[in-house]
Amino acid sequence: MRSEPFFHTIAELAALLDAGKLSSVELTKAVVARTKAVDARVKAFNSYDEDDALAQAAASDARRSTGQVRGLLEGIPVGLKDVISVANQPLTASSRMLANFISPYDATVTQRLKRAGAVLWGRLNLDEFAMGSSTENSAFGPTHNPWDLSRVPGGSSGGSAAALAAGEAVATLGSDTGGSIRQPAALCGVVGLKPSYGLVSRYGLIAFASSLDQIGPLTRTVEDASIMLGVIAGHDPFDSTSCQTEVPDYRAALAEKRGPWRIGIPQEYFGEGLDPEVGAAVEQAIAFYRSRQCVIKEVSLPHTQYCLDTYYIIATAEASSNLARYDGIRYGHRTAEAVDVGELYCKSRAEGFGAEVKRRIILGTYVLSSGYYDAYYLRAQKVRTLIRRDFLNAYQDVDALLTPTSPVPAFTLGEKTNPLAMYLCDIYTIGANLAGLPAISVPCGFTGGGLPIGLQLIGQPFREAELLPIAHCYEQAHDWHTAHPKL
């Protein structure tokens, strides 16, 4: 077993805590010390409150000592992406627009973590308002990949992935609009799960694109992801898009469902732009499933070529609408120099938003404008229906789809200055968001230069209990997830 407690899994730590071999205060102190030791280089955190975390840990130990009913995450330090509300904590979205904002309430997922006994630990960096694939678009500065500090951790949940990989948290939460959990998980060598749209409440999540956003866990193992999902999933009356669906025991499903499975390989996901080392690692994963008597079948998702265009029309349109509330009037950044209300709006937004956010607001406003709505936004919604239909048709013959998570391993900071080149980093992940499907990234190897590679499995709507065992089967036969960066 790993000696450093901050590199243990939730399942391992729960056993140690239950056996009295470790206290939550001891664990939290170790995580805090690790963060102080390495975060000046990784820069995963926007802020953290050491005293508050230790107070939560002490309260957890007190509950344990008095025999109170304990939750699945009792005493476990969990970091949260800085777009998820925690009462009386900063909520910045890594934007100057919200640099001084303190959340007045908890998100639903925050409340559920608290009920499960988690120690909420810090506010994690991201691309501003979750718009990006590298965590370079942050008003707090870029996050660095713990495996190579000259490289990006992916995005937009780069802080969540980097903190976990570096041992600065035991698990984290991120949000995924077009791959923002899975892509950084792949680039940082951890597990990242995007649940089905509507399975996890979005109440208390700062909105980017409301029909695409979903909160999900980043963890060391698939088992830990199943534990986290079991805590945060379920209907919420405060979220009108939350579905009233059964929440099974995802962890128990890992042992109950052993395959073999029918696995589809989308031919459109293995073409131009795929890094050879990434492709080779994924091919080896396919060979593994074949060796386990799984049926491997090539399938086609014919509208894949339209995913990127469709996504950036719908996502920017919804971002334009959602971000209209940041106007310098009610809350957020307000310019110090304005002669009238019109100038107040313009200057506050110009000063408060970064370049990428402005770019997406402008694109979204354009596609929603009079004369262009039908030509762009309405047509994109129709294509979205075709994309979802492609996936559902494929699932008539297979149980899950297997693809690379990212077409490339972690690239160097400042390398992708062309916005389109950055957008292409999500080419394999956005389809699951457009179709509302669950998808998970698990480590599947390293490049010759020691950079992690991720494998993506995409499941059927609300059937995470069937998707997770497929990922777990691969993970348990390999040791990629046990490697840690040397910082």
Q: Cis omega before residue 156 (within 30°)?
A: yes
Question: What's the token pair of residue 255?
Answer: 């042992």
156 is known as an active-site residue: yes
CB contact burial 319-356 (16+ within 10 A = b; e otherwise)? bbbbbeebbbeeebbbbeeeeeeeebbebbbeebbbeb
Catalytic residue among 81, 194, 347, 416: 81
Angle at Cα 432 formed by Cα 243 and Cα 116, nearest 5°? 50
Residue 381 one-letter amino acid: Q
- Other Cβ atoms within 10 Å of 481 Cβ, number: 21
User: Are residues 429 and 318 in contact, defined by beta-carbon separation less than 8 angstroms?
Assistant: no
Question: What's the token pair of residue 248?
Answer: 């099974």
Q: Is 266 exposed, middle or buried (0-12, 13-18, 19+ CB in 10 A)?
A: buried
Residue with tokens 């698939």: 222
- Separation between Cα atoms, residue 31 and residue 356, nearest integer Å: 33
User: Are residues 35 and 50 in contact, defined by beta-carbon separation less than 8 angstroms?
Assistant: no
Catalytic residue among 180, 201, 406, 441: 180
Phi, psi of 415 (to 5 degrees): -75, -40
Residue 73 one-letter amino acid: L
Catalytic residue among 156, 175, 201, 242: 156
DSSP string, 295-344: EEEEE--GGGGGHHHHHHHHHHHHHHHHGGG-SSSSSS---S--SSHHHH
Cβ neighbours for 228, distance < 8 A, ≥ 6 positions apart: 10, 73, 78, 171, 173, 193, 217, 219
Helix (H) or strand (E) holding 444: strand 439-446
358 is known as an active-site residue: no
- Separation between Cα atoms, residue 450 and residue 445, nearest integer Å: 9
- How many alpha carbons lie under 13 Å from residue 387 in its C-beta half-sphere? 24
User: Are residues 74 and 24 in contact, defined by beta-carbon separation less than 8 angstroms?
Assistant: yes
User: Are residues 413 and 284 in contact, defined by beta-carbon separation less than 8 angstroms?
Assistant: no
User: Are residues 371 and 365 in contact, defined by beta-carbon separation less than 8 angstroms?
Assistant: no
Q: Report the number of secondary-structure helices (H) and strands (E) in the chain.
A: 16, 11
29 is known as an active-site residue: no
Question: What's the token pair of residue 335?
Answer: 């310019």
Rounded to 10 degrees, the C-alpha dihedral 483/121/254/161 comes to: -40
Residues serving a catalytic function are 81, 156, 180
